[in-house]
């Protein structure tokens, strides 16, 4: 059942013994929402704990400071930033059928909870948590503020992307009034790279291919390459590479081909107007946003390239 | 004479025929302030024009849309984001003695104008321009908002650095209500790199040196290296490299040595608590902020390294 923020605030106010679940392979928004909401509920004198199917990355360990670990039997299960029950990962089997409240900002969702509050205009689920906390007249502190700020910051590329709104900036303004070190936190979240990641980026940059007068840039990540970097990079280090090719000046279509299995390749595209990444990806059964989209093509790398490149070149040449 | 924002608003309201000057080697804040204020004054029915000793970088050309070019003899000269009359560059000789109003946010300044409004708590001079515009009840439009946003965004690393305050976020919230494409603008300002710059970064990363169990990272930019990259990189591409060494995970002191003349080297340091960059640089006659500072050492590279490295290693070992 779809509800509004006010009703969500009432549910949280009226219940107790909360278990808050983040999505698997967790990012800053799902974790910031979970630890932030957990801290807020504890501050209201309630019992609350949070779990995730996967580990919290070391650079986000600070989020845990918002919460005092508590042992109790959960009565009210809440998911945050979870668009599909499958995204609970290993926790789906145990909790999937018993989600009482889902708080989320994803546009495309599969409903699974008894009550769902969703707002796809929110840049981050943390925006919604902040607003629900206000409706509950809950008190924040610097640790909770750091959690909610983390969600805002990570989901918007530090207020850089088009999903950032006035509302995002206004909430950020309220949050940094609490005395946490937002600059240090952003430094950890955005600037620091492992030496393995740096080596990987250098390799990918070196081997980047250009087509159509350098308007298309292509990066290829094969299983062999991943094996070669095994042990030198974290699993996380293979994420966030899709934005690399379009960072090169003059490129209007950046493409990343990443091997997912023996004959399975995930293709990510980032485009500039008037190239529509979603439209190009839809030709291969994929989709996404206008300027950031993806598709999966089966076959060996040679086959994938032969299928993909002529289509991309035609699209860019027609501009 | 030091004045407040209200008095600055009165001066701007009462005068006409403005010439607004940016500092030489202009950044987003000085240009955003100049074109933004110029557009604001033109919108109030006044004559206003803006100049700078140096060219506007192509990625910031869009700022010019805020202004309609006008020809007239200037009567009231205003500088924006200029901390010292020397920073007017080639324009100092002609205008240096006749600055009527200086609007600036730098903490250390040398006064040169008849009236000066300065606020070192402002993250950017554009914050002050926005507030003065409000006091004048001036109307903004999307082009002017894009100018002021550019100053906020560039001086704070897109709201990433510690100079970002609630005030910065609140002003950003007001500005993006105007319909300009802040994400496209940020993409141009922060993400795009020339192929020459990418090659340069790869070279510097490859040759980066590590000391003290990889806690110190050192990048060296010699005249030979700059000559080698001549023609392949823009002059601008040699800026902003000082943050590179500290982006490596585990590094608490990032150092960049950049050759300035035959026996002159500029040393930039970026540090993490408890290492104080300003303190280390002061040992060599330099200074700056706690976590970002610089100094100049004379001698050949071997001499500079021999002078510098033992001091840095001692500081890091004592942590």
In tens, the pLDDT along A280-295 reads: 999 999 988 788 889 9
pLDDT at A2: 97
Facing residue for A194 by CB, picked from B159, B169, B249: B249
**Which residue in A has a C-alpha nearest to residue B187's C-alpha?**
A160
Domain boundaries, chain A: 5-190, 195-317
pLDDT at A107: 83
Q: Which residues does chain A have within 8 Å of residue B200's beta carbon, measured at their own beta carbons?
A: none
pLDDT at B124: 96
pLDDT at B233: 86
Q: Rg for chain B (alpha carbons), in Å?
A: 21
In tens, the pLDDT along A15-55 reads: 999 999 999 989 999 999 999 999 999 999 999 999 999 99
One-character DSSP codes across B104-164: E--SS----SSEEEE-TTSSSHHHHHHHHHHHTTPPP-HHHHHHHHHHHHHHTTTTTSTT-
Q: How far is B175 from chain A (nearest CA, A)?
A: 8
Phi, psi of B68 (to 5 degrees): -100, 120
pLDDT at B253: 97
Distance between CA atoms of residues A295 and A280, nearest Å:
9
CATH 3.90.1200.10 fits A5-190, yes or no: no
Distance between CA atoms of residues B158 and B148, nearest Å:
13
Average pLDDT score over chain A = 95
Contact A190 B160 (CB under 8 A): yes
Interface of A with B (CB under 8 A): 157-162, 164-170, 172-174, 176-177, 181-184, 186-187, 190-195, 198, 202, 205-206, 243, 246-249
Given a contact cutoff of 8 angstroms between Cβ atoms, the answer to whether B204 and B197 are in contact is no
Furthest CA-CA distance within chain B = 63
Contact B202 A198 (CB under 8 A): no
pLDDT at A108: 79
pLDDT in tens, chain B (319 residues): 999 999 999 999 999 999 999 999 899 999 999 999 999 999 999 999 999 999 998 889 999 999 999 999 999 999 999 999 999 999 999 999 999 999 999 987 899 999 999 999 999 999 999 999 999 999 999 999 999 999 999 999 999 998 999 999 999 999 999 999 999 999 999 999 988 999 999 999 999 999 999 999 999 999 999 999 988 887 778 877 998 999 999 999 999 999 999 999 999 999 988 999 999 999 999 988 788 889 999 999 999 999 999 999 999 999 8
Look at the block and give the residue holding tokens 């290492």.
B275
Selected for mutation to probe chain B from A154, A249, A292 (highest B CB count within 10 Å) is A249
Q: In what order do the strands lie in the sheet with B76-80?
A: B48-51, B18-21, B76-80, B101-104, B115-118
Facing residue for A247 by CB, picked from B165, B177, B191: B191
Q: Which residues does chain A have within 8 Å of residue B186's beta carbon, measured at their own beta carbons?
A: 160-161
Q: Which residues contact A68 (CB under 8 A, 6 or more apart)?
A: A42
Confidence tier at A243 by pLDDT (50, 70, 90): confident
pLDDT at A235 over 80: no
pLDDT at A236: 73
Q: Which residues does chain A have within 8 Å of residue B194's beta carbon, measured at their own beta carbons?
A: 248-249
Contact B170 A169 (CB under 8 A): yes
Look at the block and give the residue holding tokens 């994803």.
A106
**CB neighbour class for A304 (10 Å; exposed up to 12, middle 13-18, buried from 19):** buried
B276 SS3 class: coil
pLDDT at B55: 94
Q: How far is B317 from chain A (nearest CA, A)?
A: 21
The pTM for the full model equals 0.90
Given a contact cutoff of 8 angstroms between Cβ atoms, the answer to whether A140 and A126 are in contact is no
Given a contact cutoff of 8 angstroms between Cβ atoms, the answer to whether B124 and B136 are in contact is no
pLDDT at B289: 79
pLDDT at A209: 97
Q: In what order do the strands lie in the sheet with A48-51?
A: A48-51, A18-21, A76-80, A101-104, A115-118
pLDDT at A233: 86
Q: How far is A188 from chain B (nearest CA, A)?
A: 9
Q: Which residues contact A94 (CB under 8 A, 6 or more apart)?
A: none
pLDDT average, residue stretch A228-248: 86
pLDDT average, residue stretch A260-281: 93
Given a contact cutoff of 8 angstroms between Cβ atoms, the answer to whether A45 and A106 are in contact is no
Facing residue for B198 by CB, picked from A164, A170, A205: A205
Q: Which residues does chain B have within 8 Å of residue A191's beta carbon, measured at their own beta carbons?
A: 243, 246-247
Across B74-98, b (16+ Cβ under 10 Å) vs e yields bebbbbbbbbebebbbebbeebbee
pLDDT at B47: 98
Tell the CATH topology of A195-317: Diaminopimelate Epimerase; Chain A, domain 1 (3.10.310)
One-character DSSP codes across B69-111: -------EEEEES-SSGGGGGGGHHHHGGG--EEEE--SS---
Same fold across A5-190 and A195-317: no
Closest by alpha carbon to A166, among B125, B235, B179? B179
Given a contact cutoff of 8 angstroms between Cβ atoms, the answer to whether B152 and A173 are in contact is no
Q: Which residues contact B8 (CB under 8 A, 6 or more apart)?
A: B101, B103, B115, B117, B132
Reading the block at residue B316, the tokens are: 């890091």
Distance between CA atoms of residues A289 and B170, nearest Å:
28
In tens, the pLDDT along A58-115 reads: 889 999 999 999 999 999 999 999 999 999 999 999 999 999 999 999 987 899 999 9
ipTM value > 0.85: yes
Percent of chain A at pLDDT exceeding 90: 86
């Amino acid at each position: 059942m779809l509800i509004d923020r006010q009703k969500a605030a009432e549910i949280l106010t009226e219940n107790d013994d909360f278990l808050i679940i983040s999505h698997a392979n967790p990012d800053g928004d799902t974790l910031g929402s979970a630890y932030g909401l957990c801290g807020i509920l504890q501050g209201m004198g309630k019992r609350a704990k949070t779990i995730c199917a996967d580990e919290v990355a070391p650079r986000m360990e600070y989020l845990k400071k918002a919460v005092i670990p508590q042992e109790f039997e959960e009565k009210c299960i809440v998911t945050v930033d979870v668009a599909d029950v499958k995204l609970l990962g290993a926790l789906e089997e145990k909790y999937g059928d018993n989600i009482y409240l889902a708080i989320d900002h994803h546009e495309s969702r599969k409903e699974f909870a008894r009550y769902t509050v969703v707002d796809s205009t929110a840049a981050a689920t943390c925006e919604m948590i902040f607003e629900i906390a206000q409706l509950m007249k809950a008190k924040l502190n610097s640790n909770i503020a750091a959690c909610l700020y983390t969600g805002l910051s990570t989901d918007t590329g530090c207020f850089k992307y088009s999903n950032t709104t006035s509302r995002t900036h206004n909430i950020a303004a309220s949050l940094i009034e609490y005395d946490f070190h937002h600059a240090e936190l952003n430094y950890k979240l955005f600037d620091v790279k492992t030496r393995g990641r740096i080596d990987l980026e250098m390799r990918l940059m070196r081997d980047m291919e250009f087509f159509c007068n350098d308007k298309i840039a292509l990066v290829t990540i094969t299983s062999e390459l991943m094996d070669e970097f095994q042990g030198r990079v974290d699993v996380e280090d293979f994420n966030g590479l899709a934005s690399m090719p379009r960072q090169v000046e003059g490129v209007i279509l950046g493409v990343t081909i990443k091997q997912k299995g023996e004959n399975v390749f995930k293709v990510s595209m980032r485009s500039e107007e008037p190239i529509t990444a979603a439209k190009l990806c839809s030709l291969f059964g994929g989709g996404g946003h206008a300027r950031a989209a993806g598709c999966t093509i089966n076959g060996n790398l040679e086959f994938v390239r032969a299928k993909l490149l002529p289509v991309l070149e035609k699209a860019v040449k027609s501009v």
